Structure 1
Amino acid sequence: MDPLLILAIGIVTILGLILILKVNAFLALIVSAIVVSLLSPGAVEDKISRVADSFGSAAGNIAIVIGLAAIIGECMMVSGAADRIVQAFLGWLGEKRASWALMGSGFVLSVPVFFDTVFYLLVPLARSLFRRTNKNYLLYILAIAAGGAITHTLVPPTPGPLVMATTLGIDIGTMILVGAMVALPAAIAGLAISAWLNKMIDIPFRDDHVVGTEDDVPEVPKTTPPLWLSLLPVVLPVALISANTALDTLANAEHTPQLQVADISDWPAFEAALVGPGATPAAQRIASVLPESVRELFEEPNLDEEQKQSVITAFNDVLVQKSPMLYDNQAFDEVIDKSWKIDEALNADGVSEQQAIELEREALVSSLSQTDLDAMKVHERERFNRLLLEVTFPKLIRPHDWNTPLRQAANVSKLFGNANLALLFSTIIAMWIVFRQKKPTLKAMSETVELALMSGGTIILITAAGGAFGAMLKIAGIGDAIKEMFTNGDVTSSSTGMAFLILGYSLAALLKVAQGSSTTAMIVGSGMLASMISGVELGFHPVYLATSIGAGSLMGSWMNDSGFWIFTKMGRLTESESLRSWTPMLAVLSLVSFATTILLSKFLPLLPAA
């Protein structure tokens, strides 16, 4: 079946189940994943099991982080840490700038706390401010929504951005930093349009009790923890994850696999092994990807220093290039085929240290060759290609030292900067703050955690089901079909990256308008784009695809969006008033964050140096 027809059937299945039959998003996504899988190529006996495998893989990537983030948010509410942050913003900015304080509070708190919880927390403060000032009520509640909604859709560990980062292969630290960069100008624009809407729309303050709203607002403790302690559950994981990203970036920038002229121990022997009559298939493959001008140099009897440097420069260019790829399965069969003997050889008597190094490198090449070479990052591809050279010419190219001091520091930071461990530290701190402030019994603390995990569990099921749906789209070959349609077969076209940004934004916006959930729009949209971009040169970091999808997921909020009803009922507005205030404010957030994404992709592409 045509891949685009499968895509259409998958989307219609999701929307039909959610909008018409009112089926839960988890069931709708799982059913749609199964439908797409059944229509896709593959053995009949694998068509259901691969859905379950993809579901498990997606859950494994996000379940711990979402569960821990839910606990952190609940504990910050119970302990008064969240309220302390809000009071600090008000204290710094003053009552005259209360809208900025509310927007800033929503912006910060929606990183670890879900949007609905943040709005529940802050809307009583907006009412209190109105009672003191007797003005700007709509501005106050829109300011809360602007700050909370934008980080909810762009900054992990909230579920949508977290799943997008995982699906598109984006480092969590990079997603946090770039997501915040895109979110900040959007939040400011949201506050500006909120002030204008506050002047244009006359909405009365309704002070009568509304059943089902006040009871949902948690009781704020009479005493709150110090500000530094209140901020710690938010700041610590961001700092650890960001430090990991920074150290890893610096280690990659060392380019330790790159060749130097001195790395070639015997140039005449190297030339003979590379282009001589006795060259192995691997050596012939390596020579074939070098530029013609470099191959001509080997016809000279003795290379001078300038010519040697030209050869080394050409090799270093080959180390990072995607096409033509240095590795070829057939050409390197000899290296791969003997890898099964490596463990046995390493344990044998009389193996010298040099032989052990060579065997270990052959084992590493064998292992890396089984990965998705096309999806390798630049530094991974550079290292793999250098290892290929070393195992092909073991006596002629000096083994490089991958584990430099900076790389070792980056490896340690990967332990503590792993999102799962960083958020576990934050969870422990958030729970300790609850014990410090409220001194609950162990049973009460357990109930608090269970309450948090009940909401987090639903999110995990939906996001994992969305991951399975995206994986089945990839198996169906939808990526290649749409890639061909958008690029006309030219994946290096300068317009390709922009086309994918627009596609990601449009898909997310369409899904948001149709089914209401920003998180579902992000999950499905990122899954679709992940199936399309393999092998495509975007011209910028894929994090901008994620922020374009997140921007699109804010567009067109109306009655099918749970956030619309939270804003309406908790804010005590009518549906018409929300459509005239909440909906256009989110549209501004959407457009500004998308425009910021485009600008950053052009002027700060974040592509690693070759």
Structure 2
Amino acid sequence: MGSFVYSDYWPFAVLLLSVILVVTLITRWRFHPFIALMLSAMFVALLSPALPEVPGQNPVITIIELPMMEFGIMAGKIAWVIALAAVIGTAMMESGAAEQIVNWLLKTLGEKRAATALMISGFILSIPVFVDTVFFLLIPLGITLALKTGRDFVLYVVAIGGGGVITHSIVPPTPGPLIMAETLSLDLGIVIFAGLATGLVPAIAVIVVGKWLNKRLNIPVRVTNSHVTSIPNPPSLMLSVLPIVLPILMISFASTVEAVTGELPDWIAFQGNKNIAMGVGTFVALFLWARGQKLGSNALWQGIAKPLEVGGVIILITSAGGAYGAMIAHSGVGKAISLATEGFQVHYILLAWIIAAVLKIAQGSGTVAMISAAGIMAALVGPEYHLPYHPIYILLAMGFGSLFVSWMNDSGFWVVVRLSGFTEKEGLQTWTFILAIIAVVGLVQILFLSWMFPLI
């Protein structure tokens, strides 16, 4: 046994046992994901014989302290951005900016294309707003439209949910894509652009498959007391989109300049820093909220307390996931996989998708699946491994894999089922099915693009 522990293949056992522990703690014993991930990170440290040495520190203490250090490092990278994203989302809803975007899309596209308008709304709003909140915001509109027209209820639900989960899974600053970008050391501007671009084909698939499901399933509107409450004094459409568009433009501008010129002037680097860009978006969102609702500074700061609390929980979970992923890397799993697959042609894009999908099915949380898979894959996609394509494809594969399959152990499943008035069977036929379609379509697209446009 001792010789096996110190062998090149021991990290596989560490990885397998730690995944089993994460899944068991979350699904069977109902541990909070933050606690489950931190305990699993320490478990990995306990089983890893070759941890980095900390000068002057007892190795036993290192088993506890190293995961805590990795937790702090990841929190330092993502905490500010996630907190501000939560504030932007709340401010946009409270100011009426989110409502303005949705109403403009519905008016522009018309009643016949209402499903497309709802899908685009979900796609856009899920960039700074958590997907559960987007569904809360949009489902009353879907119910109202279905009651008014007497048709297309399934299509509206699928469009809202499908559009929202795409950007939630592959476009920062939502927590999963953000932490994947940090873990793989990828430029955030490139990740945003790639996520938006590769989200288009799955978004089209959402409408196509939604129409097919709508014809196949006859699900009535059972929720009749839902209504849309208009926000007084909403901002103009131009101002409404600024909290989303400004950070994306600032970050993307810096990435584009560096890619085209090979240099990055200090002032462009400063304005394109994710923390600065998100701060500007937050300032605009808060200004619109305070101006529209005539809030004083006290009322405004009290108003952002709740989204900061929600953001704090997300920060804890994602940072704990980062610590777990870092400890997996310290265990030597990257070297172990490299040795085990030497002489074999391993497609790391497919591997990344499968790892995220298995973790998603097992424990339910897409965010946990993404950040855990990122920790595993980070050890495999470093410069020394000479990938035949850009590592952005690995990130996108994990994002799409984290959508396969959403069922009863996923909180998102119950949000959709309860708010839509669906039965559990109807939820499996609609929500679970459309997320599986998005995941598979996304994988096929990524495999094709990595072959046609390797970007190296």
Q: Do both share a fold (TM > 0.5)? A: yes
What residue in structure 1 maps to residue 284 of structure 2? 429
Q: Structure 1 residues 487 and 80 mapped into 2: Cα distance closer, same or farther (>3 Å)?
A: farther
Q: 2: distance between equivalents of 1:421 and 1:48?
A: 33
Q: Deviations over 1:517-543 (max 9, x none)?
A: 000000000111002223211111111
Q: In the TM superposition, what is the alpha-carbon distance from 1:181 to its structure 2 partner?
A: 1.3
Q: In the TM superposition, what is the alpha-carbon distance from 1:47 to its structure 2 partner?
A: 2.0
Asked whether the 8 Å contact 2:14–2:47 carries over to 1, the reply is: yes
Q: Indicate whether 1:517 and 2:365 are aligned.
A: yes
Kindly report the root-mean-square deviation, in angstroms, between the aligned alpha carbons of the 2 structures: 1.4
Q: Indicate whether 1:39 and 2:47 are aligned.
A: yes
* Residues 185-196 of structure 1 aligned to structure 2 (within 5 Å): 185-196=201-212
Which one of 235, 240, 265 corresponds to residue 225 of structure 1?
235
Which one of 154, 158, 175 corresponds to residue 159 of structure 1?
175
Q: Sequence identity of aligned pairs in percent? A: 42
In structure 1, the residue corresponding to 2:232 is in which secondary structure? coil
What residue in structure 2 maps to residue 286 of structure 1? none
Compute the TM-score of the two structures, normalised by the length of structure 1: 0.71
Q: 2: distance between equivalents of 1:236 and 1:38?
A: 45
Q: Indicate whether 1:579 and 2:428 are aligned.
A: yes
What residue in structure 2 maps to residue 545 of structure 1? 394
Greater CA radius of gyration, 1 or 2? 1
Q: Indicate whether 1:234 and 2:250 are aligned.
A: no
* Residues 41-60 of structure 1 aligned to structure 2 (within 5 Å): 41-42=50-51, 43-60=59-76
Q: Deviations over 1:28-84 (max 9, x none)?
A: 000000010011123334222111110011111110100000000000000000000
Asked whether the 8 Å contact 2:232–2:292 carries over to 1, the reply is: no
Asked whether the 8 Å contact 1:511–1:521 carries over to 2, the reply is: yes
Asked whether the 8 Å contact 2:257–2:264 carries over to 1, the reply is: no
Q: 2: distance between equivalents of 1:163 and 1:6?
A: 22
Q: Indicate whether 1:589 and 2:438 are aligned.
A: yes
In structure 2, the residue corresponding to 1:48 is in which secondary structure? helix
Which one of 120, 142, 153 corresponds to residue 136 of structure 2?
120
In structure 2, the residue corresponding to 1:135 is in which secondary structure? coil
Where in structure 1 are there 5+ consecutive unaligned residues? 253-406
Q: In the TM superposition, what is the alpha-carbon distance from 1:590 to its structure 2 partner?
A: 0.5
Asked whether the 8 Å contact 1:78–1:218 carries over to 2, the reply is: no
* Residues 245-284 of structure 1 aligned to structure 2 (within 5 Å): 245-252=255-262
What residue in structure 2 maps to residue 99 of structure 1? 115
Q: 1: distance between equivalents of 2:150 and 2:385?
A: 56
In the alignment, residue 32 of structure 2 is paired with which amino acid? Answer: N
What residue in structure 2 maps to residue 22 of structure 1? 30
Q: 2: distance between equivalents of 1:180 and 1:111?
A: 10
Which one of 491, 507, 514 corresponds to residue 355 of structure 2?
507
Asked whether the 8 Å contact 2:147–2:221 carries over to 1, the reply is: no
Aligned length, in residue pairs: 439
What residue in structure 1 maps to residue 403 of structure 2? 554
* Residues 121-160 of structure 1 aligned to structure 2 (within 5 Å): 121-160=137-176
Which one of 325, 328, 349 corresponds to residue 473 of structure 1?
328
In the alignment, residue 106 of structure 2 is paired with which amino acid? Answer: L
Q: 2: distance between equivalents of 1:69 and 1:564?
A: 23
* Residues 80-91 of structure 1 aligned to structure 2 (within 5 Å): 80-91=96-107
Where in structure 2 are there 5+ consecutive unaligned residues? 52-58
What residue in structure 1 maps to residue 77 of structure 2? 61
Asked whether the 8 Å contact 1:82–1:109 carries over to 2, the reply is: yes
Q: 2: distance between equivalents of 1:175 and 1:523?
A: 15
Q: Deviations over 1:3-24 (max 9, x none)?
A: 1111111111111111111100
Q: Indicate whether 1:566 and 2:415 are aligned.
A: yes
Q: In the TM superposition, what is the alpha-carbon distance from 1:448 to its structure 2 partner?
A: 1.7
In the alignment, residue 250 of structure 1 is paired with which amino acid? Answer: V
Q: Deviations over 1:146-168 (max 9, x none)?
A: 11010000100000000000001
Q: In the TM superposition, what is the alpha-carbon distance from 1:196 to its structure 2 partner?
A: 0.3
Q: In the TM superposition, what is the alpha-carbon distance from 1:92 to its structure 2 partner?
A: 1.3
Q: In the TM superposition, what is the alpha-carbon distance from 1:208 to its structure 2 partner?
A: 4.0
Asked whether the 8 Å contact 2:183–2:322 carries over to 1, the reply is: yes
Asked whether the 8 Å contact 1:73–1:113 carries over to 2, the reply is: yes
In the alignment, residue 70 of structure 1 is paired with which amino acid? Answer: A
Q: Structure 1 residues 478 and 91 mapped into 2: Cα distance closer, same or farther (>3 Å)?
A: same
Q: 2: distance between equivalents of 1:514 and 1:204?
A: 31
Q: In the TM superposition, what is the alpha-carbon distance from 1:219 to its structure 2 partner?
A: 4.4
What residue in structure 2 maps to residue 398 of structure 1? none
Q: In the TM superposition, what is the alpha-carbon distance from 1:218 to its structure 2 partner?
A: 8.5
Q: Indicate whether 1:109 and 2:125 are aligned.
A: yes
Q: 2: distance between equivalents of 1:20 and 1:207?
A: 32
Q: In the TM superposition, what is the alpha-carbon distance from 1:408 to its structure 2 partner?
A: 5.2
Compute the TM-score of the two structures, normalised by the length of structure 2: 0.94
Q: Deviations over 1:424-456 (max 9, x none)?
A: 000000000001111123332112211101111
Q: 1: distance between equivalents of 2:230 and 2:171?
A: 26
Q: 1: distance between equivalents of 2:299 and 2:239?
A: 22
Q: 1: distance between equivalents of 2:145 and 2:279?
A: 36
Asked whether the 8 Å contact 2:123–2:164 carries over to 1, the reply is: yes
Q: 2: distance between equivalents of 1:173 and 1:232?
A: 17
Q: Deviations over 1:206-231 (max 9, x none)?
A: 1444xxxx6xx984313321000000
Q: Indicate whether 1:600 and 2:449 are aligned.
A: yes
Which one of 377, 390, 393 corresponds to residue 529 of structure 1?
377
